[in-house]
A and B are shown apart, each in its own frame.
Chain A
Amino acid sequence: MHIIISLTVSFLAVFGLVVIAFFGVWAAHLEWLFGVVIPYLAVITFFVGMVYKVVQWARCPVPFRITSTCGQQKTLPWLKRTYVDKLDNPSSTAGAVGRMILEVLCFRSLFKNTRLEFGSGQEIKYKSAKWLWLGAIVFHYAFLIVLLRHIRFFAQPEPFFVPLIENIDGFFQMFVPALYQSGFLLGAALTYLLLRRILDGKMRYISLPADYFPLFMILGLVTTGILMRYLLKVDIVAVKELTLGLAQFRPVVPEGIGVLFYIHLFLVSVFFAYFPFSKLTHMAGVFLSPTRNLSNNSRMVRHINPWNYPVKVHTYEAYEDEFREKMIDAGLPVDKESASPAE
C-alpha cells in the first residue's frame, strides 16, 4: 500500500476515534458509554484476546529444536566457552533463561544491529547501528513507566512503588506540576520510530497501515495525556473517582470531567481492544519464540516431536536387491549372496 494512503488511513482512523469520543461526550452526553461501558469491554477484550492468543500458541507443538545459535556450542571438554557463548548458544535451560532475560529486558538482538553501507567501488561496510535499539528501548521503558504511574488512578492507597517512580520520573521539582520525563521521552521515541518508517526507503516499503496506526494511536494517547496534565487541566479529583470506581467495580461517572479525558480514555480503550488482533501481541509472543527460548542440546538429549510419524524409506534390502550384482562384481560385501532364481 502506498505510504501516503497508509499514513492517511491510519491517521484518519485515530483522528476519527478522537472525533467519536468528542461528539459522544460533548454532544450526545454518553459519559457512561465512554467512561464505563467501553473501558470495561476493552479490558475484557484485551485479557480474553491475549489469553486466547497465548493459549493458541502454547498449544501448538514445537516439533523440532531449531535454536538460532549465535555463539560457540558446547563441545569438547577442553574447548572453553565464554559467558557470551553460554548465553547466545545455551546448552542448558539456565542459559536459555538468561538469553531470554537479556532479550526481553535489554533487547539484545536489536543491540547487535548493523547498517549496510556501500563504499566506493565494490566495498561493502557494516556499521554498528544502535539507533533502532535506543529508540525501541526508550519507547518501551517510557511506556512502561507511564503505565505504572497510572496505577495511582486505580489503587487506593497507591502501591509504594508508584510515588517512587514519580519521584524519579519527575525531574526539576521546581515546576508545578512536576514534569515527567517519561511522557516526553515516549513522545520523542515515537516520533523517531515514525520518522524512521517514513524516511527510510526500506522501512517505507515494508510498513503497513497496521504499523502506522499503533504509532499514531500512542501519539494520540501521549498528546491527550500531556495536554490534560500540563495545559487544559481536567478535574483530577473527579477523574480519580471515576477510575477508582472502575477498578473497584462500583462505576460512577462524576460531573464535570473535561471531554479531553474521555477522548484519552477512549483511545486507551481502543488501544487495549486492538492489542490482541495486531502485531502488538509480540509483547507475549516474544517469550514463546522457539528459536530463542530453547537450549541447543538436541545432540545431547533427544527432543521429542509429539506428531512424529513413520515415513516411507528406501531400505538397505531394497538397495542391495537393485545393485547386488554390481556390488558383488566390485568386491563389496552383501547381505545376501546372489539369490537370483534365474541361475
Chain B
Amino acid sequence: MQTPVDIKPAMHCYACEPARLKVVDFPNPRVWSAMDEDWKLPKNWKEIVMDAFKDRLDRFRTFKLFMDICVRCGACADKCHFFIGSADPKNMPVLRAELIRSVYRRNFTAAGKVFGKLAGARDLDYGVLKEWWYYLYQCSECRRCSVFCPYGIDTADITIIGREFTNLLGLNIDWIAAPVAFCYRTGNHLGIQPHAYKSMLEFFQDEIEEVTGVRVEPSYNRKGAEILFITPSGDVFADPGTYTCMGYMILFHELGLDVTWSTYASEGGNFGLFTSHEMMKRLNAKMYMEAKRLGVKWILGGECGHMWRVINQYMATMNYDIAEGSKLEEPVSPLTGTKFESAKGTKMVHITEFTADLIKHNKLKLDPKRNDKVKVTFHDSCNPARAMGLLEEPRYVIKNVCNHFYEMPSTTIREQTFCCGGGSGLNAGEDVELRMRGGLPRANAVKFVHDKYGVNMLSCICAIDRAVLPDLMKYWVPEAGVCGVHELVANAMVLEGEKEKTVDLRNEPLAETEDAEDV
C-alpha cells in the first residue's frame, strides 16, 4: 500500500465536465483531468471527506461493520475480474477496501490512533485521495467478492460509499456524470428528448414491419394504461440492444397488452447508483411519479442489470411513499392470471419473469427452429444474479425459444458470474484497456464454450452488457455475437398475420447453410 498510485491512461475514465454537475447541483464544477497534478479541489477537501466519512459510518451498518471485521483472509482476493485481468494487487477486493479502511483506522479507531502504521493506519493525503479515486473507479460494483467472503463483506458497497466521497469533491467521471445529468433532465441517460424517443421507436416499427409484415403500435405517456413499461434507454439507442427493444414491442403487440411507454420515465438504468445514494433516489423517483400520474396498475421492467439492483434493493425503501395514493397494486399477468407475489411490494415485474410465465402457460406461439443458427450461452449479469437472484427465469425463456443452449462452466455463471468489464459506469471508450482486462474472465468462459460446442451467441439481460460485450467479444472471441433474451424470443415468435419470415430482426437470413462449415 506504500507504493504510490500511478494513474495510467486507458485504465481510467475521463473526468466529469462541469456542466454535468451544475444540472444536478453537485459541488465543485470545474474543468479538470485525472492526469493533472492539480485536481482543483476545494480548500477544505479533507474536512469534507472526513465529515462525510463519519456521517456514513453512523448511517450505514454495512460500512461501519465492513471497516471493522475484515480479517484479511484473502478468500476474496482472486475473485475480482479486475484483479484477474490486471494483476494489480490493489484490485484485490480486500485491498481496494483497505485503501479506505486504512484511513478509517487512523481517524476512527483507538488502535490506529495509537499505533499508526503498525496498525495498518494512514493519513488521508492528496496521494491517497487520488489512489482512492483510481481504484474506486476500477471496481464495477459487481459483488462477486461478497459471495466468497465469510462475512459477506461487500466491497461494492464500500465502493458505492467511497464514490459518494469523491462526488462531494466534484471527482466523478464523465461517463457517469453525463448520464446522470441527462437522465435528470430528459428522463434517460442518453438525453433523448420526447419527440426523438418516439421517432426512434417509429423506426423500429418500420423495421419490424419489414421483417415480419406486422405493424406494431406502441403508445406513449398514455393515462389509464394497465402497465407502464420501463427499459434502459440503451435498448432504444444502440445495437444490439435495439433488437431486444424490437423484441419487447413485438411481444406486447402480439399479446395485445395494455401497456404504455413513457418518455419521461424513459430510463430503467440508474447511474445514480454509481454516484451517491441520494442521486440514485432522485433519479429513481421518476418511476413511481410516472406510474402514479398515468394511473397504471403495475410496472414492467426491461432487461437491465443494475436497474434491477436498484428496483430490488432500494426502490421501495427510497421512494414508495411517492406511490401512496396511486392505482398501483399487486401485479397480475393479464394473460395467465399469475400473481407476482414476489413483487407485491414494489409493484414491478421483470420482463423475463413475465415472459417465462407466458411460456409456461402456452400463451406464446413459438418456433424455436427459427433460432437454429445460433448456439446460445447465457451471461448472468452481476446485479440480477447477486443482488436479486434472477437465475432461472431467463434460462427458462431461452431454452424454450432456442434449440441450442449451452452453459458456461459453473464457476463463471449464476452467483459466481463474472462482470462484463464495464459495469458501474465504466463502459466508456477511453478506459478500453481496463475493460478488456476486466472482461477477460468472462470472455475466457465464452471462448471455452465456443471451442467446445461452437457457441456463437452470448445472450444477456443487461443493457450495459449489450454495450460492453460486443467489444469484448471482438477482442477475445470474435466468433461470438451478443444479444438480449427478448431478441431471441421475438425471433422465435410466430405472429398472427405475419408474412413468411426469411430474416431475423437483424435482417440476417434465418438459416445459414454456409454457417455449417465454421462450426
Which residues of A line the B interface, CB within 8 A? 1, 9, 53, 56-57, 60-79, 85, 88-89, 91, 103, 107, 109-110, 112-116, 122-124, 126, 132, 136, 200, 202-203, 205-211, 277-279, 281-282, 285-286, 288-292, 296-305, 307-308, 311-316, 319-320, 322-323, 326-327, 329-333, 335
Contact = CB atoms under 8 A, between A and B. Distances in A.
A88 B186 CA distance: 39
B215 interface: no
22 contacts: A57-B61, A62-B62, A69-B386, A109-B149, A110-B75, A116-B84, A122-B444, A122-B447, A132-B73, A202-B78, A203-B77, A211-B71, A277-B110, A278-B111, A286-B151, A288-B65, A299-B348, A300-B343, A312-B282, A323-B195, A326-B195, A327-B263
A292 B151 contact: yes
B61 A282 contact: no
A62 B72 contact: no
Interface in B272-313: 277-278, 281-282, 285-286, 289-290, 293, 311-313
B118 A57 contact: no
Nearest to A291: B152
A75 B390 CA distance: 9
B513 interface: no
Contacts of B125: none
Interface string B107-121: 001110000011110
B338 interface: yes
A132 B148 CA distance: 12
Contacts of A332: 194-195, 198, 220-221, 263
B154 A56 contact: no
B198 A299 contact: no
B77 A79 contact: no
A68 to B, nearest CB: 4
Nearest to B389: A73
Given A57-B65, A64-B314, A202-B74, 19 more contacts: A9-B118, A60-B57, A60-B64, A61-B61, A66-B154, A73-B388, A75-B393, A116-B78, A122-B447, A210-B111, A277-B111, A279-B69, A279-B71, A282-B151, A285-B65, A299-B346, A304-B317, A316-B264, A332-B194
Contacts of B440: 124
Contacts of A279: 68-72
B147 A290 contact: no
Nearest to A135: B73
Interface in B221-238: 221-223
B75 A286 contact: no
Given A208-B120, A332-B198, A79 B392 contact: yes
A311 B380 CA distance: 33
A64 B313 contact: yes
Nearest to A317: B293
SS of B interface (majority): helix
A312 B353 CA distance: 33
Interface residues of B, number: 113
B264 A319 contact: yes
A297 B316 CA distance: 11
A139 to B, nearest CB: 11
Given A69-B385, A72-B389, A113-B75, A124 B84 contact: yes
A311 B343 contact: no
A330 B154 contact: no
Interface in B1-60: 2, 25, 57-60
B59 A286 contact: no
Interface stretch (B92-100, B365-373, B421-429): B92-100
B204 interface: no
B318 interface: yes
Nearest to A124: B444
B195 A330 contact: yes
Which 8 A/B pairs are nearest by Cβ-Cβ distance?
A73-B389, A330-B195, A285-B69, A291-B152, A69-B389, A292-B152, A126-B411, A208-B120
Contact of A71 (B187, B193, B286, B415): B415
Contacts of B78: 115-116, 202
